[in-house]
Structure 1
Amino acid sequence: MQFTPTQKRAATWCAIAALALLLLWLLAPVLTPFVVAAVLAYALTPVVNRLDALGQGRLPRVIAVLLVETLFLVLLLSLLLLIVPILAKEIPLMREQVPVLADRLNAGLTPWLAQFGIHVSLDVASIKAFVLKYLNANFEDAFGSLLSSLKLGGSVALAIVGNAVLIPVALFYLLMDWELFVARILELVPPHLRTAYDSFTDEADSVLGQYLHGQLLVMLAMAAFYAIGLALFRLDLALPIGIFTGLAMFIPYVGFGLGLLLALLAGLLQFASVKALVMVAVVYGLGQLLESLVLTPRLVGERIGLHPLAVIFALLAFGQMFGFVGVLVALPASAVLLVAIRRLKVSYMASRLYTV
């Protein structure tokens, strides 16, 4: 069987793509920090370039890079530190409220289940002892437990620490020489494909820019909504939990779920009544409707064109390949892949294989 030159080229490119995917899968643990740094560098390079232009050559690029990266790391740490006041408030409340909640649960649940012929009796004393044992532990005990956990999962801890160090370093060098890296990649593109390459990168830049801008607006709007909504129910930790929930939505579904659990826990400990359930149902139910039906479709959805099922698949696939950080880059990377798939579809439908 004879193959045409077009078919040979197509088979060659398919083999190259398959080999690239295989290498990507095999080297995923090594590539993870570089992929994350590359995505961050892509998003932060315009800010560095703008600072560089404002300096009119008098400000060294290294200063602009250090300023932008430092500001980004400070914002990221600020988001993580929102958990600190939540824990500082909740742990003392848990010492006080968990025994009370256990008594109420046993008093209310046992008679209700008895109506259906289910006889259950909670060992409230054991529950109280178990919870208070860990909540009353001093710092030395907690630190010792942490060290023993790190020994058991040493490879995991080493990977986390390694990525935490390597990603900022890789980000620094990528921000310094981003234009050089792009130029080197452009040199590998054959001259007759430069027009198609430029068209693809321009479309990908447009889609990613719109996605990042729209996602940022959604996060800020939802942070304000959740903080105000929880404050209307007089939740003491409304501000940190609301802001954390909104900003953590850059991780689809995961950020929302964490915020919901924190709000539910804080509500149960503060109100110790059904008011906590009502608060979470109203605020987070309305918030999900607002985000899903109004904000995301208008500010993000149509701009990248990803179906909700495609979003879920992308999160699972990138999470499987790159772990937790893969979830962070799933949607931007999927937006670029979507541009490539659209172009392949157009090329295929215009080819002789489709028209025959």
Structure 2
Amino acid sequence: MDRTPLEDIALFLRRLQWTALGVGACWLLWVLAPVLTPFVIAAMLGWLGDPLVDRLERTGRSRNTSVILVFTLMALLVVLVLLILVPLIERQITTLIVSLPSYRDWFTGTAIPWLEQRTGFEISAWLDLNHLIELVRSNWERAGGVATTMLGYLSRSGFAVMAMIANIALLPVLTFFFLRDWDVLVDRVASLIPRDHLATASRLAKASSDVLGAFLRGQFLVMITLGVMYGIGLWAVGLDLGILIGIIAGLLTFVPYLGPASGIILGVIAALVQYGDWKYVAGVLAVFGVGQVVESYWLTPKLVGDRIGLHPVAVIFAVLAGGTLFGFLGMLLALPVAAVANVLLRYAQERYTHSRLYAGDHPTILLDPASNPVSPQAEGTRAAPAADASTERAPQ
């Protein structure tokens, strides 16, 4: 139906209003990014902990008791990770810096000559490993001076120190309130949705929560489990840098093939530099082989399943784009926004495949099912065959 000029103007003004609202929201998000960061982190922690709070409530406990139990558990986990992981990584990095001359000698005396002999390229003429190693060592030795300079700058900037302390102090308080009032917040948001669109909005919100929850809860558990397995396995093999390599491989697991591939390459190099024996290389390969079997047949099916729907490339792009646009806050919001966008795109595809534009104005009539097989999509759009197929006629 043709629209009148007044209707076209009204439609244009409505679209202009929504565009202005979106631009204003992005500008406000960019301006308030430092203030909103603890709120976003607390909201994500509250969203992650709410299912466990609901489960404890179903056992007969009150909401406040369930929130206190979950909040205490989350705080203990954070403290435990900081107490164990931070000193461990620091010792591993120190070991790496001390071992850099050994890696330099192996590259210059073994790896590069081997590659030059088989490729015919003079790689050593393009790489000055001695300069690179010394550059890394000098920068690492000056790290204490850099840290002192940064602390001095922060001490001179009293507002920055106060803001940082306030954000750290607010985070547990905000997390507790988000855990306690999460269901109330969800109900209030749902009450603002127009009643005609409530069912669709609820379905899209649940799908978005399932996608994001499967990624955050499931994939992060897979990353942590594999990081621990790889680290302990490489340490048992005898690598001095085994724990650091295992952590790196575990963190990169969310990108298929990148995590195990990087871990294998780093582990093999570390084994050759430290021992120069293929027996230890075989041990490294065995550790990652067992890890891949456990991930493929138990961890991913049990913890993640097939509900993620977020391609690793989309995840990487979302995190980098969010960090570029809105800094650390953008990196925090990248995955939720990507999950919601993925669900909305699927919904748009579903609407399109059920639209007249996709299916056409006329249904497809099957003349001979045996000689004209149709796809399931066409099967859903064709007309039901009559009882006597011989009486069917194509439209003239």
Q: One fold, TM greater than 0.5?
A: yes
Partner Cα separation in structure 2 for residue 297 and residue 174 of structure 1: 30
TM-aligned CA deviation for residue 222 of structure 1: 1.9
Q: Give 2:91's match in structure 1, choosing from 88, 92, 111.
A: 88
Question: Which residue of structure 2 aligns with residue 43 of structure 1?
Answer: 48
Q: Which runs of 5+ in 1 are unaligned?
A: none
Give, in angstroms, the shift of residue 168 of structure 1.
2.4
The normalised TM-score by structure 1 is 0.69
Of 170, 187, 190, the match for 1:166: 170
Structure 1 residue 24: Cα displacement? 2.8
Q: Single out whichever of 189-198 and 266-275 deviates more from structure 2.
A: 266-275
Cα distance, 1:33 vs. partner?
A: 2.3
| Distance in 2 of aligned mates of 1:103 and 1:8 | 68
Q: Does 1:223 align with 2:227?
A: yes
Q: Which has the higher contact order (CA 8 A, sep 6+)?
A: 1
Q: Which residue of structure 2 lines up, in the alignment, with residue 33 of structure 1?
A: 38
Go from structure 1 to structure 2 and tell me whether the alpha carbon gap of 1:64 and 1:144 turns closer, same or farther (over 3 Å shift).
farther
Match for residue 346 of structure 2 among 317, 333, 342: 342
Against the structure 1 CA distance between its residues 269 and 142, is the aligned structure 2 distance closer, same or farther, given a 3 Å change threshold? farther
Question: 1:216: how far off?
Answer: 4.4
Cα deviations by residue, 1:134-154 (Å, 9 ceiling, x for unpaired): 88x7xxx97665231233467
TM-score of the superposed pair, with normalisation by structure 2: 0.63
Task: Work out whether 1:318 is the aligned partner of 2:319.
Answer: no
Q: Following TM superposition, by how much is the alpha carbon of 1:41 offset from its aligned partner in structure 2, in angstroms?
A: 1.0
The one-character-per-residue Cα deviations of 1:177-227 (angstroms, maximum 9, x if unpaired) are 112212221222222222222222232333334334532452354235413
Matched residues, percent identical?
Answer: 36
Instruction: Tell me if structure 2 keeps the 8 A contact 1:29–1:322.
Output: no
Deviations 1:260-292 (A, max 9, x none): 599669937981658798877886699689869
Pairwise CA distance, 1:44: 0.5
Deviations 1:74-106 (A, max 9, x none): 3234334324134335536744x4455556666
Q: What letter matches 1:85 in structure 2?
A: L
- SS in structure 1 opposite 2:238? coil
Q: 1:222 to 1:302 in 2, by over 3 A?
A: same
Kept in 1, the 8 Å contact 2:272–2:281? The answer is no
1:241 CA drift (Å): 5.5
What's the Cα RMSD here? 5.0
CA–CA distance in 1 between the matches of 2:39 and 2:220? 23
Following the alignment from structure 1 to structure 2, what is the Cα–Cα distance between the partners of residues 129 and 210?
42
Contact 1:83 1:240 in 2 (8 A): no
The reply on whether 1:235 has 2:239 as its aligned counterpart is yes
| CA offset digits 1:233-267 (Å, max 9, x no partner) | 32256457536753x458769x959x959966993
2:227, 2:246 within 8 Å by CA — same for their partners in 1?
yes
Does 1:146 pair with 2:150?
Answer: no
- How far off is 1:69 after superposition? 2.5
Change in Cα spacing, 1:104 to 1:234, as seen in structure 2 (3 Å) is: closer
Per the alignment, residue 29 of structure 2 pairs with: 24
Aligned-partner Cα distance in 2 for 1:272–1:24:
53
- Secondary structure at the aligned position of 1:177 is classed as helix
Q: Could you tell me whether the CA contact under 8 Å between 1:82 and 1:240 is conserved in 2? A: no
User: Which amino acid is the alignment partner of residue 146 of structure 1?
Assistant: A
